[in-house]
Amino acid sequence: MNILITGGAGFIGSRTAAALVQRGDRVTIVDNLSPQIHGDAAAQTQVATSLSEHTNFIHGDVRDIDLMKSLARDHDAVLHLAAETGTGQSMYDMVRYSDVNVTGTAALLEAVTASDSKIRKIVVASSRSIYGEGAYRCTSHGLVYPGDRSPIAMDAGNFDPRCPICDQEVAVAPTPETAPLTPASVYAVTKLAQENMVLAVARAHGLSAYGLRYQNVFGAGQSLSNPYTGILSIFSREMVFGRSIEIFEDGLESRDFIHVSDVVRANCAALCADATGIHPINVGTGIGVSVETVTAELARLLDYTGDIRVSGRYRAGDIRHNIANVDLFKTELGMTCDIDFRTGLEEFVTWSRAELMRGVDSDGYARSLAELAEHGLMKGG
Ligand SMILES: NC(=O)c1ccc[n+]([C@@H]2O[C@H](COP(=O)([O-])OP(=O)(O)OC[C@H]3O[C@@H](n4cnc5c(N)ncnc54)[C@H](O)[C@@H]3O)[C@@H](O)[C@H]2O)c1
């Protein structure tokens, strides 16, 4: 197939492009090489040169409708990854987030549905963040959705959600695709808008489409320079440069970390000619790992002996836990994950340590936290 990837210079896109080329597809990438992800002009040129070796790389913007229309004429499918991705940053940089993520998706869809477009399939990167707090199990009421946590409880150090019916303790449960969608950040709202727009347009035009709800994707190659996203990147930088680590809440909050190579396999499966549905699908492992465990494992692998402080502070819009229900992932895409968290983390640490030692240190993370505090989004503690 001829496959177009928006945001294809990024972490997930560049790896998916390489895998698609290897299986025999022709790939075009459109990416604006955002400096927040790709660094300065010299670093951007390096990325563009390397991608041009095996793909048709176009330095362009997904919001450029004419460009997207011209590309829709000779591609069979599109993988839409281009996005602004920082949850915290989206809570004060709202116009930029909705412009790139929502207007960008609208521009792509106008191109896909133009009369001379050849595109018959759209795969969009959705996100676990659209669930907000996700599913929990109450011993009296079964599967429940507690929704947003109470700031009063969190200020008092009680971070766990409670049953919305009887207010008893609940245990985290895998969140199915049918869960209520209650995005808790502007980023998450834009990801939900992207998914809804793609699925609605696909249904109306008889195209096939998947909204792949990625969990926390990690692995060698993720941006180490973007201070707004990725706990593994942020904590490994802080540890390699000997700074202290602040763990928010009580450290027991957890995420479902999926290795990028499994996400690439999911993208490739959704981009197969015989995958013809119109569905949202969770892309995760179904296993939660706490921030405390992530930090301890990183410290062990990086020989970090500095200060690790559990601060009790929290960021507005953060959720407590999220773990994917992966039933559809298995049945619709035939997927199970190949790489467990510890194996993936070892590979990530080997790569990130070498990269960080070769590069330049930055105070970006401290700056990003100061920005959150300035906007009143850093609470508790
Ligand atoms: N990495 C994760 O954990 C994760 C989790 C859930 C969802 N996602 C989604 O997956 C997608 C890819 O994520 P990633 O981790 O590879 O992010 P990334 O930041 O590495 O890649 C995004 C790419 O989009 C490009 N881009 C940004 N604005 C653009 C524009 N206007 N026009 C063209 N290109 C533009 C950037 O330059 C970058 O190369 C995103 O849509 C993200 O929301 C990622």
Query: Residue 227 — very low, low, confident or very high, per pLDDT cuts 50/70/90?
Result: low
Q: Domains of the chain: which residue ranges?
A: 2-135+174-380
- Distance (Å) of CA 205 to CA 61, 198, 238, 345: 24, 11, 48, 42
Residues catalogued as catalytic: 187
Pocket test for ligand 1, best of 34, 38, 90 (most atoms within 8 A of CB): 34
Q: Which of the residue ranges 50-59, 83-92, 163-172 would you say has the lowest mean pLDDT?
A: 83-92
3-state secondary structure of 253: coil
Ligand 1 atom nearest to 12, measured from its CA: 16
φ/ψ of 249, rounded to 5, equals 55, -135
For residues 210-217, give the mean pLDDT: 97
Digit-coded pLDDT (tens) for 109-161 = 999 999 999 999 999 999 999 999 999 999 999 999 999 899 999 999 999 99
Read off the pTM.
0.94
3-state secondary structure of 284: coil
Which tokens hold the place of 110? 């106008």
Q: Distance between CA 35 and CA 225 in Å, rounded?
A: 9
Fold of 2-135+174-380: Rossmann fold (3.40.50)
Q: Distance between CA 15 and CA 21 in Å, rounded?
A: 10
Q: Distance between CA 348 and CA 54 in Å, rounded?
A: 24
State the average pLDDT for the chain: 94
For 105-156, the DSSP string reads: HHHHHHHHTSTT----EEEEEEEGGGGTT--EEETTTEEE---SPPHHHHHT
Residue 64 has pLDDT above 80, yes or no: yes
**Ligand 1, atom 9: closest residue by C-alpha:** 125
Q: Distance between CA 82 and CA 194 in Å, rounded?
A: 11
Distance of CA 168 to the CA centre of its chain: 31
Ligand 1 binding pocket, CB closer than 6 Å = 6-7, 9-13, 30-34, 37-38, 61-63, 81-83, 85, 100, 104, 125, 127, 191, 214, 216-217, 223
Which tokens hold the place of 209? 């489409």
| 121-149 burial: b if 16+ Cβ within 10 Å, else e | bbbbbbbbbbbbbbbbebeeeeebbbeeb
What per-residue confidence (pLDDT) applies to 142? Answer: 97
The helix or strand, by DSSP H or E, that contains position 57, with its residue range, turns out to be: strand 56-59
Q: How far is the CA of 226 from the centre of ligand 1 (A)?
A: 11
Ligand 1 atom nearest to 85, measured from its CA: 43
In the chain, the percentage of residues whose pLDDT exceeds 70 is: 98
- Pick from 312, 299, 215: which is nearest to 254 by CA? 215
Q: How far is the CA of 186 from the centre of ligand 1 (A)?
A: 15
- Distance (Å) of CA 343 to CA 134, 206, 338, 349: 27, 41, 10, 10
Query: Residue 5 — very low, low, confident or very high, per pLDDT cuts 50/70/90?
Result: very high
216-218 vs 257-259, strand pairing mode: parallel
